[in-house]
Amino acid sequence: MIIEILAAGIVVSACLAVFVDEAVYAVTALAGTFMMTSLLYAFDGAVFAAVFQFVLGVGTLAVLFLSGETLSEKTVSAKPSTKSLLVVVASGVLLSLPAVLLTVSSPKKTAYSGSFSQVLWQLRAADVIIQGLVVLTVALGIFIVLYEKKTRSGE
Query: What is the pTM for the complete model shown?
Result: 0.59
- Output the CA torsion sign for 18, 19, 24, 29: negative
- Predicted confidence at residue 103, as pLDDT, reads 62
Range from 58-67, 99-108, 113-122 that averages highest in pLDDT: 58-67
Using one digit for the tens of pLDDT, what is the confidence trace for 92-107? Answer: 778 777 766 766 555 5
Q: Per-domain residue ranges for the chain?
A: 2-105+113-154
* Residue 92 vs residues 64, 89, 115: alpha-carbon distances, Å: 23, 5, 31
- Interval 7-14 mean pLDDT: 86
Distance, in Å, from the CA atom of 142 to the CA atom of 69, rounded to the nearest integer, reads 12
